[in-house]
Amino acid sequence: MDSNCEDRFVFSDELLRKTFNSLSAHIAIIDQDGFILETNAAWKSFSVSNGLPENIDFLQMNYLNTCETAVGDDVKDAKTVASGIRKVIDGRINQFVYDYPCHSPEGPKWFYMRAVLIAENGPPRVIISHEDITKLKLAQEALRENQDILEDKNQSLEESNIALKVLIRHRESDKVEMEKKFLTNVKTFVLPYIQKLKQGQLSEKDRTLVGIVDDHLNDIISPLMQALSNASVMLTPQEMQVSVLVKDGKTTSEIADILFVSEATISFHRKNLRDKLGLKNRQTNLRSFLLSMS
The CATH number that applies at residue 114 is 3.30.450.20
The pLDDT assigned to 5 comes to 46
The parent domain of residue 253 ranges over 173-292
Within a domain: residue 90? yes
Q: What is the pLDDT of residues 96-108, one digit of tens each?
A: 999 988 777 778 8
Q: Same domain, yes or no, for 98 and 203?
A: no
User: What is the reported pLDDT for 115?
Assistant: 95
Confirm whether 117 is domain-assigned: yes
Q: How far apart are CA 68 and CA 77, in angstroms?
A: 10
Residues 177 and 69 in one domain: no
CA distances in angstroms from 279 to 124, 251, 252, listed in the order given: 100, 19, 18
- The answer to whether position 86 is within a domain reads yes
Tens of pLDDT, residue by residue over 38-60, are: 999 999 888 888 778 888 888 87
Residues 6+ apart with CB under 8 A from 234: 183, 186, 187, 221, 225, 276
Kindly give the parts of the chain with pLDDT less than 70. Answer: 1-12, 119-120, 226-229, 232-233, 294
Within a 13 Å sphere around the CA of 234, how many CA atoms are in the beta-carbon half?
29
- What is the pLDDT at residue 9? 44
- What is the pLDDT, as a whole number, of residue 8? 46
In the chain, the number of structural domains is 2
Residue 145 lies inside a defined structural domain of this protein: no
182 with 75, same domain: the answer is no
* CA 21 vs CA 8, 17, 145: distances in Å: 20, 6, 37
